[in-house]
């Protein structure tokens, strides 16, 4: 919350002179998400959907969003985040025997941008939630419990559009797990923390650090996207800081 101090015009001028004379560079203020925007009323103000299927839909249970995604589905946060970024949220993949349930793909993008456009939403219709189209983006990606809950992988996408049609141009897997301890538990609420701080990229889930990567060319700004496919997912308690 920003504080507003009442200063006289003279005091303000003196303060500005002192600030201009400082030798140390000022740090950016921490920007916090005051609300997670995960409610029926606030949702359109904070989030954008890219869906591969017209049959996708979502529902609200208080501040919990449930996504039913027969095919690829990305939920983008509208805010562009810059600097040292930390993102937290809670999410789970439901598996209760419903037709849309499949225990797979609790995924995410962060520090995502489109090197072929000024705004990540410019080519949103072209992507339309199809996973292969996301190779055109530059970002960090974790697929937790992907491939029918058989792999958990971390990649850094370069934004090379040739990867859409040619697998040889797709980003390499930087971290991979296949053991059950690093795969999905049905209906379990996971607390997830993503960060990119001074070039150190981390993915922490339920307090366990799965990714700890030093990026020689760190991504310093971009958007967050919650990603899933052929699943029923729930997400809540989203917040972030950037400084």
Whether residue 154 contacts residue 203, with contact meaning beta carbons closer than 8 Å, is answered with yes
Domain ranges of the chain: 28-242
Quick one: pLDDT at residue 83? 97
pLDDT of residue 28: 37
pTM of the model: 0.86
Residue 46: strand, helix, or coil: helix
DSSP 5-51: ----HHHHHHHHHHHHT-SSPPPPPPEE-SS---STTTHHHHEEEEE
Topology (CATH level 3) of domain 28-242: Jelly Rolls (2.60.120)
pLDDT at 38: 87
pLDDT at 40: 87
pLDDT lower than 50: segments of the chain? 1-34
Q: What is the CA radius of gyration of the chain?
A: 20
The DSSP result for 76-128, as a single string, is EESS-EESSEEEEEEEEE--SS-TT--S--EEEEEEEE-TTSSSTTTTHHHHT
Mapped onto helix, strand or coil, the DSSP state of residue 129 is coil
In the chain the first and final C-alpha atoms are separated, in Å, by 14
The three-state secondary structure class of 15 is helix
């Amino acid at each position: 919350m920003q504080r507003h101090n009442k200063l006289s015009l003279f005091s303000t001028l003196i303060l500005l002179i002192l600030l201009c004379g400082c030798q140390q560079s000022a740090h950016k203020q921490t920007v916090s998400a005051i609300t997670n925007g995960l409610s029926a009323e606030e949702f359109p103000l904070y989030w954008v959907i890219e869906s591969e299927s017209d049959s996708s839909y979502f529902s609200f249970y208080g501040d919990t969003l449930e996504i039913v995604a027969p095919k690829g589905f990305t939920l983008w946060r509208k805010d562009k985040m810059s600097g040292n970024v930390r993102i937290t949220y809670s999410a789970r993949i439901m598996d209760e025997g419903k037709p849309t349930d499949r225990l797979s793909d609790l995924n995410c993008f962060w520090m995502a941008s489109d090197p072929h456009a000024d705004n990540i939403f410019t080519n949103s219709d072209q992507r339309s939630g199809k996973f292969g189209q996301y190779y055109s983006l530059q970002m960090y990606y974790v697929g937790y419990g992907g491939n029918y809950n058989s792999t958990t992988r971390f990649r850094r996408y370069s934004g090379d559009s040739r990867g859409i049609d040619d697998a040889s141009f797709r980003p390499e897997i930087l971290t991979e797990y296949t053991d059950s301890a690093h795969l999905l538990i049905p209906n379990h609420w996971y607390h997830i923390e993503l960060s990119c701080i001074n070039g150190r990229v981390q993915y922490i889930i339920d307090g366990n650090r799965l990714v700890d990567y030093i990026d020689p060319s760190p991504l310093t700004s971009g958007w967050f996207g919650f990603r899933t496919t052929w699943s029923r997912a729930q997400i809540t308690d989203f917040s972030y800081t950037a400084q």
